[in-house]
């Protein structure tokens, strides 16, 4: 796939704001763990790398370090392309380390905090993955409302993740999100054991060896990047 000309232009722009180059920034945010946040952050980072965008994948979950550990396995298994994955505890440290990057992908803590709000405010798009149950949807939509009040309104996209076999449950979840007034991504992320097996080997998304899973991942990747392409400037 050819690199996105718009994103490359943004990444390579010489314009400096506030003493630094403004990079496209995408964050994956959640109010609870286990909804696919880190999975989709890795999928997006892999998609960015294959597009030639030189991503830095910032892991802010210092207790889990899911992305950092995944990258260690990736390096051990010599999976290419290389991805710059690092742990950060503040936005200030991230901004000091993004000079060689072309796009910033942020995986936040499973439990949103003040830093999560700051990250969302500086993101071009804020993706909120959620399961279809009310147990997942209620805290996700509550967080979406909080983020909107803090300045991320218009950049919040709810993404239904880890979808099972129940069409009725999926439809109900879609209707709940629509009623909330928040944007939702058209593509949904299914629950498949093969995706976890790929992550366990240091791969993600389009790098799956299974043709069906690879096609599914590429559709999700395309939807995520299309939403970033349409994002209004910060």
Sign of CA dihedral 14, 15, 17, 22: negative
Assigned token pair, 63:
């207790």
Q: Is the peptide bond before 200 cis (omega within 30 degrees of 0)?
A: no
CB of 48 closer than 8 Å to CB of 94: no
Domains along the chain?
A: 23-229 (3.40.50.300)
Query: Measured between alpha carbons, how far is 81 from 133 in angstroms, rounded to an integer?
Result: 36
Strands 16-17 and 20-21: antiparallel
pLDDT of residue 16: 41
pLDDT in tens, 105-139: 999 998 888 999 999 999 999 999 999 999 999 99
Model pTM score: 0.90
Determine the average pLDDT of the residues in 59-82.
96
pLDDT tens per residue, range 173-231: 999 999 999 999 999 999 999 999 999 999 999 999 999 999 999 999 999 999 999 98
Average pLDDT over residues 42-46: 98
């Amino acid at each position: 796939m050819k690199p996105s000309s718009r994103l490359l232009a943004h990444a390579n722009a010489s314009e400096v704001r506030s003493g630094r180059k403004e990079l496209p920034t995408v964050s994956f945010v959640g109010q609870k763990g286990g909804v696919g946040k880190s999975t989709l952050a890795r999928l997006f980072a892999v998609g960015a790398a294959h597009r030639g965008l030189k991503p830095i994948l910032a892991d802010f979950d210092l207790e889990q370090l899911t992305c950092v550990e995944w990258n260690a396995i990736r390096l051990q298994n010599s999976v290419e392309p290389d991805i710059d994955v690092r742990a950060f505890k503040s936005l200030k440290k991230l901004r000091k380390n993004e000079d060689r990057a072309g796009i910033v992908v942020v995986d936040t803590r499973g439990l949103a905090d003040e830093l999560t709000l700051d990250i969302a405010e500086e993101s071009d798009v804020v993706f909120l993955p959620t399961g279809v149950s009310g147990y997942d949807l209620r805290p996700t939509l509550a967080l979406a409302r909080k983020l909107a009040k803090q300045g991320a309104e218009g950049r919040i996209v709810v993404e239904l993740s880890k979808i099972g076999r129940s069409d009725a449950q999926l439809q109900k979840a879609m209707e709940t999100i629509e009623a909330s007034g928040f944007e939702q991504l058209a593509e949904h992320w299914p629950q498949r054991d093969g995706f976890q097996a790929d992550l366990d080997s240091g791969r993600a998304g389009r790098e799956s060896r299974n043709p069906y899973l690879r096609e599914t991942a590429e559709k999700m990747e395309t939807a995520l990047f299309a939403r970033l392409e349409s994002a209004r400037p910060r």
